[in-house]
Structure 1
Amino acid sequence: MPTALPISGDLPEFRVLGPLDIRARGRQLQITAPRLQAVLGALLLRADEVVPAQHLMDSVWEDNLPADPANQIAVCVSMLRRKLERAGAGRDLLLTHPPGYRFVADGVRLDTFTVRQLRDEAREHLAAGDSEAALSRLKSALSLWRGPVLSGVTRRAWQPEVRRWEEEQVAVRESVSDLQLELGLHEELIAELSVFVQQQPLLERPRGQLMLALARSGRQADALQLYRDTSSLLREELAVTPGEELRRLHEQILRGTAPVPQPEADPESAVAEPAPAVPLLASVVAPGPQQNGPCQLPGDLAEFVGREEELAALRKSLVPGTGSVPVAAIVGPGGTGKTALAVHAAHQLRPVFSDGQLYVNLRGMDEHPVTPEEALARFLRELGLPGSAIPQTLDERSEQLRSLLADRRMLIVLDNARDVRQVRPLLPGTGSCGVLLTSRARITTAPTTCVLELEVFEQHQALALLDRLVGRKRLSAEPHVAAELTEYCGRLPLAVRIVGTKLASKPHWTLEKAASRLANERRRLDELAHESLEMRTSLELSHQGLSSAARKLFRRLALLTTPDFSEWICAPLLDMPLAEGEDLLEELLDARLVDVTSPAGAGQPRYRMHDLVRLYALERVHETEPKAERTAVLTRAAATALALADLAHRTVCGGDFTVLHSLARQPPAPADVLERMASDPLRWYESDRATITALCQQAAAEGQDEIAWDLAATSRCLFSVRFHFDDWQVTHESALSAVRRQGNNRGAAAMLLGLGDLYLTRRHYERAVPLLEESRRLFREVDDRYGHALALRKAACADRITGRFDRALARWRESLPVLRSVEDLEAQAQVLRWSGQTLIEMERYEEAEVFLRDAEKVVQGFRGRSAAQVRFSLADLHLARGDLERAAEAYELSLEASTPIGDPSGRAYALAGLATVDVRRGRLHEADERLRQALEIARAIQDPLMEAQVLLGLGRSRRAAHDLSGAASLFREGAELCRRMGAPARLEQIRRAMAELPQAVT
């Protein structure tokens, strides 16, 4: 977490602890659009973290996602960037980080970060014995809450973050109250807490603090009345009585022995992270019953950090009573600190379970785990039963344990459990006891009342652990390297602990030296070992419990360089049916060697390996599988991705059109994978775009040039429609390098065509033309008439934009017979439409109609992208002829056809066309609204040619509204765009529009 900056009016300020409030340069920035509020709120709540696009979608639309949510989120982020930049807050606050976006908190004032800074300062003052300064800092932190978090905007998807800050507010309030009690500020405390307990009526601890303040102020009657009110409230609302500590305080006030506060044994605890807002602290009331039974717990870790929310949940759930046995489970991958958390929590719970604590490491991941019989024998001996009296059978031992534990307040810690068969015989039978178990997999049939899924540390937690182990002086000397070290460890607690203990044992090492040793991926697991701690050993425990088939999947998943993956990839990796691969993937999930990254209900789940787990799996695959086999595995995966990309391509283009394929024979794709994805291949593409790119790069690097260029070429149309320019460029450049190394001229021609098309789409015409001409030349050399025709039609597009209309028309005429001979309907429709569009611009309307009617016949019967585009061009023709009714109808049809395939470019052009009709009809408000939407899309997808056209439309609308200076400004902005990109034809249109304005205005 970046250091919170001191308060300064010069810094942009973002506040979420209350209504969303943004201030920059002394002025408030209003963001009223609900979608923008939701996106910004989600990013601010996770400031300096990469927030997945899926989380932003859930925040905006919850369960009602639109047809193309990813692009709409991109539009929202783009709009926020512009608003922040114009307000003076800076454009670089919102960064794109696949698979999502990140709000950069450096250089701004964010109230949540300020709270944490003030809390840390309070902790330092308290450690130095300055309670008054600590209280001042905490009260400043408390004043930052202006109401419920993001009130008026909060979404269901934000509940974990909102709840965390609600708990933070309660914890700070309680810490303030503790210090006010210590300093004798009773009247001040009474005034503040009287309001707070009305806002949070069910929290017992603040009510106990208020009772104590009242009693010390000589108001015992009021303190006792508050207790009676609390008792009635809890009984009515929750059907429970006040907790033991609150009852004890009540009795002490009755006897006139209310305790005087004692200093905290640990000065940090008074300003700790959010604590459970239920019982009073032991420092406020008299101590509970003393331990009078066995304690088998391992020693607590002096440097334990983080996991405050988890500790609070354990304290809340493990409460002895008269009902069923409370059982809490801590589950998670190896190295996440399950045992450390369990032991730490168990030590904190010793006053609660005053009859003792039993502990056993069940070694569930070992080849020979501890049997229930052996564990029971250990417990029975510890409870005083002589060896000769221990029963022989499992059932008898289990019965004996339940008998000995009946009505005793004992906590049983079952560490490293394997499954329910190992756990169930060890459970007590009465609710006076509690059970805390840890396991790498969920033990779903155990009667758990609380299950905690441990993840890796947040960065500030990982740094806190390093700080405890290495010392603040060394970390502050190299703060950036310290953060780098935690990332090399993947913020896995065990790995961070290993690095910290190694550095502590080597005081002569700099952090930079440790980081340089960890930077080498091949040696990283070797470096993550120190004395008895070893990362590789932890991973081996999970690995050795897998079946042989699951081990193979585990190894081969590591070959993928994509950040995450879907279930379908298992089938080609293992060359087996999808259902069997999914079962093996579930086995890896159970062993916590793979994580689910997508939230429940988000459609097809996605999975990932932790970086250190993947390094271990890579070691295994390189040790056990030869190079040829690894290459074959990747080739099968790429071939399956190619088949799925082909399905998506056909959906967008209406068939296998406008694309060249390799003539090489590739492994067949699994039929069951294709069948599952066939219902919505575009959804597959949106989910697995990164997989396409990664597999293309890997195939290219492995020398599999044919499949690499085929996959890139087949995906080009998808990249184009969704404006995924980076993927488009990376795949084509990687494949181009591969085909050139192999002397593959046909593949090179196809990749040059794709790259030329990319630069055309991005309006970099000076870069596009040489690539397209080189592509044409290579296609001639290899005698590929179809490829040559595809390259020729794209070269003609560059001619049209640069004003060479006659050459463009001639080239399209040359390509058309070849396209017809191969029955490429999409390419035919494009050539006919482009010809008609060019003739409209040349005001040759009769000729244009002939081409457009031919195009309409070609697209009849298929729902590809060109169907919408042909309607758009016909609308342009109707508009040019002054037939507004038919133009509006055709634009509406074009807009309707663009939505299902998620074509933002087609949507923007249709909106601009409808706006032109609106202007001519005098409906200027409607025109401006449509044009604003179109402008947002144009800027979001970074299309300057479209942006220039929309600015032209906006200028005409302003001119019609007699806002001549506004019109001139918009025309000048559009003209400058055209000059920069080299688009003389569009520039001429804008110049003609400017010429219609009075000369004094222009």
Structure 2
Amino acid sequence: MPASPSDILADFLTTLGVRPEAVPKDLPGRSALFRTITADKRLLLLLDNARDDAQVQPLLPGSPDCAVLVTSRTMLSSVPSVLHLALDVFSKDEAISLLDSVIGPARRAAQNDQAELLVEACGRLPLAVRIAAAQLVSAPHRPIGDLVRRLADDRVGITALRTRTVAIEQVFELGYLLLEPPLATAFRKLSWVEPDIGLASAAAVLGLPDDQAERLAESLVDQALLESTAPGRYRFHDLVRAFARRTSLRRGPAERAAARQRLLTLLLGRARTAFALAVPGDPVAEVFGGALPARPVFKDLPHARRWARTDTPAAIALAAAVATDAKANANAPTAPTPDTAEATETAELRSAIDLLIALSPLGLGAFGGRAEEAARLLIAAAVERGDRAAEGRSRFLLGTVLLARARLDEAGDQARRAARACQEAGDRAVHRQALNDLGLIAQAEGRHEEAIAAFDESAALARRLGHRSGEVASTANAALSRIRSGHAAEAAATCRRLLAEPADNPTATADAGMTAYVHYVLGLAYQVLDRLDDAAAQLRSCIDRAGPAGDLDRESAARSRLADVLRLLGRVDEAVQHAERALALATKGGRQRERALAHLVLANAMTARGDHAAARQHEEQAHLLLGPQSAPESAVATLLPTAPTEPAATARPVTPPEA
């Protein structure tokens, strides 16, 4: 229990020479006597780990010549002060310096990589680093990596940070035990959302309206148990989250299961809505099961894309957690799982897969490494449970992530396995997309006839399913392969037909994203046909649609192409402006291929301007970004995240491939 201000004042007064029997019995009397005694003194008081304002106020001396230094987990807003300083965790260098001071710089330097991993595993929290260092001192021959592995082990984790006299868990326990019951419950439940927590997610997990959830979250911020990273967004320190989760699990698994299910329901519902905005014309309810939320969630596609950029990390983490538990439960040597529990686990696994697929058109590719890891976990769980339908979708998901990362051989293997599994499971919507993926891979590898065949099959299946956006995308992808195989006039005719169909057919749904892509491909066809003014017009039409939709990748690629066309038309200054804008968009969107294309086009434009030094710099940047393999330029239909990207540079120094 925190010390009472009355007891603290009694200690202060006797230390200052007051006889014990002369110490007043009540708090106001003790505080008044303390101020009187200190009125003519110069003192520095250190009040460590103060609980709140009420504990501190009676302890303040009565002289302006006295100073008080207070440390507290909470913000002491009503205590008069000269300076409030929020202390963050250590920087990496500060944490390493503390480690050096305890175990010695020589030992640390000999195992520097593991030492850096150790301070990160401690979250660079000073006390945690100090405890870890003390453990290493007590075992001078113990490899640092051994402690790193113990901290990474979910079964050990935070409990490994203890010595005979102090444990990091005990320190967190002190703050937790002071929380009122509703706040303690919120602390535990919110820990199941990672890496950060949006207000809508907090409200869903807590089962409360947004305003009530926000009040609880802000109270946890005041208690220094939660960090506020931006208005309406929160984050736990890693060690605090680990403590909160252990505390939750000590109450049984129900709290975690309920929090996860509420979060999954919220994110999947929002992802479905965002998907419908990104690819209108596809029957989302059929693809993902269930109906869309009754109330509008996003006002438009840019709003949906902004949400996806902030909440996709939480969706990936949730999907990975669901997969890990689903696989573990399938392997658990326990009594048979009741049918209802088995059905719930199967539904949860499939929903987690659908969540990431639904996010695919909204920038999932920007989270490549984490998305790949989650997809592999989902595949492992589906295979372990013998769920062929879930396996097909999760392999498709992994294939799309690998395709966006230009790992074509692996992507092709996953797309073929996804196609077989989906065909066996009767999942025609994802089977169709897997065929499209196989076309993209063949196209990137220059096997254009094979690509056209796959795209045509995919488009035909989309037509039978009524997937308008998928049909348009696969048809436009086939047109791009025709451009590359020397049939630009045929490709241009196909694109003109696709653009005319919404006007000619009232039942055809206009998809701004796919329409922008068709304009893009038509612009490429016109450029190859040397109809440069027409090419520029089509690329501007693409930009006019991609920009307002918030599609950074597509707008970047179109501006790069437009810059190259303008250079060929002799409008070099305009070309430079569009290429620079393309580079800025590509950098913001996080797509390496678009950045490389923008650098290539800028190199050409700078050469045309006569600035050869700048041209060489951009060329070097492009070649640094370009890998040995190429991601396809094609639009990814319906379920696929990536926007058009340029293939890798060929032996021609800086000439974009279709120019």
Q: TM-score, normalised by structure 1?
A: 0.52
Counterpart mapping for 1:399-410 below 5 A: 399-410=32-43
What residue is the counterpart of 1:753 in the other structure?
Answer: 396
Relative to structure 1, the CA distance from residue 449 to residue 910 in structure 2 (aligned partners, 3 Å threshold; closer, same or farther) is: same
Q: For the residues of structure 2 that align with 1:656 and 1:958, how far apart are their CA atoms?
A: 45
- Identify which of 181, 192, 200 aligns with 1:568: 200
**1:441 offset after TM fit, Å?**
0.6
Q: Give the direction of change, closer, same or farther, for the CA distance of 1:441–1:671 in structure 2 (3 Å limit).
A: farther
Deviations 1:136-165 (A, max 9, x none): xxxxxxxxxxxxxxxxxxxxxxxxxxxxxx
Query: Which one-letter code corresponds to 2:32 in the other structure?
Result: E
8 A Cα contact 2:162 2:168, kept in partner: yes
Pair 1:608 & 2:232 matched: no
**Counterpart position of 1:729:** 372
With over 3 angstroms needed to count, the CA separation of the structure-2 counterparts of 1:524 and 1:907, relative to structure 1, is closer
1-structure distance, mates of 2:185, 2:196: 18
| Residue identity in the other structure for 1:941 | R
The residue type paired with residue 684 of structure 1 is W
Kept in 1, the 8 Å contact 2:371–2:401? The answer is yes
Aligned-partner residue type, residue 586 of structure 1 = E
In structure 1, distance between residues paired with 2:177 and 2:376: 41
Aligned to 1:942: 592
Change (3 A) 1:780 1:487: closer
Q: Note the alpha carbon deviations across 1:342-391, whole angstroms, 9 max, x for none.
A: xxxxxxxxxxxxxxxxxxxxxxxx2xx33333333443444444455544
Q: Residue 213 of structure 2: SS of its match in structure 1?
A: helix
1:588 and 2:220 correspond: yes
Change in 2 beyond 3 A, CA 1:569/1:853: same
Q: 2:211 aligns with which of 576, 579, 588?
A: 579
Whichever residue aligns with residue 394 of structure 2, its letter is: M
In the alignment, the residues of structure 1 paired with residue 39 and residue 598 of structure 2 have an alpha-carbon distance, to the nearest angstrom, of 81
Q: Residues 528 and 760 from structure 1, CA distance in 2 versus in 1: closer, same or farther, beyond 3 angstroms?
A: closer
Contact 1:876 1:887 in 2 (8 A): yes
Q: For 2:127 and 2:23, how far apart are their aligned partners in 1? A: 38
| Structure 1 contact 693–727 (Cα < 8 Å) conserved | yes
Task: Decide whether the 8 Å contact of 2:405 with 2:631 is kept in 1.
Answer: no
Q: Counterparts of 2:385 and 2:519 in 1: how far apart (Å)?
A: 43
> Relative to 1, partners in 2 of residues 1:670 and 1:514: Cα closer, same or farther, differing over 3 Å?
farther
2:74 is equivalent to residue 451 of structure 1: no
Aligned match for 2:316, one of 693, 700, 706: 693
Deviation by residue 1:259-302 (Cα, 9 ceiling, x = unmatched): xxxxxxxxxxxxxxxxxxxxxxxxxxxxxxxxxxxxxxxxxxxx
How far did 1:710 drift?
A: 0.9
CA distance in 1, matches of 2:106, 2:455: 71
1:826 equivalent in structure 2: 469
Aligned equivalent of 2:384, options 731, 741, 753 = 741
- Partner Cα distance (1:765, 1:548) in 2: 53
CA distance in 2, matches of 1:524, 1:811: 49
> Residue deviations 1:69-123, cap 9 Å, x none?
xxxxxxxxxxxxxxxxxxxxxxxxxxxxxxxxxxxxxxxxxxxxxxxxxxxxxxx
Note if contact 1:572-1:670 (Cα within 8 Å) is conserved in structure 2: no
Residue 431 (structure 2) aligns with: 788
Query: Per the alignment, do residues 660 and 807 of structure 1 end up closer, same or farther by CA in structure 2, a change over 3 Å counting?
Result: farther
Which residue of structure 1 lines up, in the alignment, with residue 248 of structure 2? 621
Closer, same or farther: CA 485–774 of 1 in aligned 2, 3 Å: closer
The answer on 1:550 being equivalent to 2:172 is: no
SS of corresponding position for 1:450: coil
Give the letter aligned to residue 906 of structure 1. Answer: R
Q: Does the 8 A contact of 2:196 with 2:234 survive in 1?
A: yes
Separation (CA, whole Å) in 2 of partners of 1:982 and 1:678: 25
2:234 corresponds to which letter in structure 1? R
Residue type of the alignment partner of 1:583: R
Aligned partner of 1:707 in structure 2 is 351
Secondary structure of 1:520's counterpart equals: helix
SS of 2:431's partner is: helix
Alignment of 1:898 with 2:542, yes or no, is: no
How many equivalent residue pairs?
Answer: 604
Q: Which amino acid aligns with 2:124?
A: R
Pick closer, same or farther for the CA change 1:400–1:746 going to 2, 3 Å: same
Show the 5 A alignment for 1:484-883.
Answer: 486-501=119-134, 506=138, 509-510=139-140, 512=142, 516-517=146-147, 519-521=149-151, 522-523=155-156, 525-560=158-193, 562-596=194-228, 598=229, 602-611=230-239, 613-626=240-253, 629-654=255-280, 661-663=287-289, 680-703=303-326, 704-719=348-363, 723-801=366-444, 812-816=455-459, 818-820=461-463, 822-838=465-481, 841-842=486-487, 843-844=489-490, 845-854=492-501, 864-879=512-527, 883=531
Contact 1:380-1:390 within 8 A present in 2 as well: yes
Tell me if the contact between 1:571 and 1:578 (Cα under 8 Å) persists in the aligned partners: yes
Paired with 2:513 and 2:391, the residues of 1 have a C-alpha distance of 26
Matched letter for residue 520 of structure 1: R
From the superposition, tell whether residues 773 and 440 of structure 1 become closer, same or farther in structure 2 (CA, over 3 Å). closer
Query: 2:71: which partner in 1?
Result: 438
Q: Secondary structure at the match of 1:592?
A: coil
In the alignment, the residues of structure 1 paired with residue 249 and residue 627 of structure 2 have an alpha-carbon distance, to the nearest angstrom, of 54
Counterpart secondary structure, 2:171: helix
1:873/1:372 CA distance change after superposition, 3 Å: same
| Residues 836, 847 of structure 1: 8 Å contact kept | yes
CA distance 1:582–1:671, shift in 2 (3 Å): farther
Contact preservation (8 Å) 1:719, 1:728: no
Does structure 1 residue 911 correspond to structure 2 residue 539?
no
Name the CA distance, whole Å, in 2 between partners of 1:984 and 1:708. 29
The offset of 1:642, in angstroms, is 2.0
CA RMSD between the two structures? 4.6
- 2:351 partner amino acid: I
1:574-614 superposed Cα distances (whole Å, 9 cap, x missing partner): 33333333333233323322233x3xxx5543312232x33
- Give the structure with higher Rg (CA): 1
- How big is the shift at 1:891? 1.6
* 1:422 Cα deviation from its structure 2 partner: 2.1
8 Å Cα contact 2:408/2:629 also seen in 1: no
Asked if the contact 2:301–2:550 (Cα under 8 Å) also holds between the matched residues in 1, the reply is: no
Distance 2:60 2:438 in 1: 76
Shift of 1:544: 0.6
State the alpha-carbon separation in 2 of the partners of residues 568 and 556 from structure 1: 14
Q: Which amino acid aligns with 1:694?
A: A
Q: Percent identity between the aligned chains? A: 26
Question: Following superposition of structure 1 onto structure 2, how do residues 264-275 of structure 1 map, counting pairs within 5 Å?
Answer: none
Structure 1 stretches lacking a partner, 5+ long: 1-365, 996-1002
Q: Partners of 1:390 and 1:982 in 2: how far apart? A: 80
How far did residue 545 of structure 1 move? Answer: 0.5
Greater relative contact order structure (CA < 8 Å, 6+ sep): 2
Aligned-partner Cα distance in 1 for 2:442–2:452: 9
Counterpart for residue 88 of structure 1: none
CA distance in 1 between counterparts of 2:375 and 2:114 reads 36
Matched letter for residue 689 of structure 1? T
Partner-residue secondary structure (3-state), 2:233: coil
Unaligned segments of structure 2, at least 5 residues: 327-347, 635-645
Q: 1:754 to 1:446 in 2, by over 3 A?
A: same
Instruction: Tell me, yes or no, if the aligned pair for 2:593 and 2:631 is still in contact at 8 Å.
Output: no
The whole-number CA distance in structure 2 between the counterparts of 1:927 and 1:676 is: 34
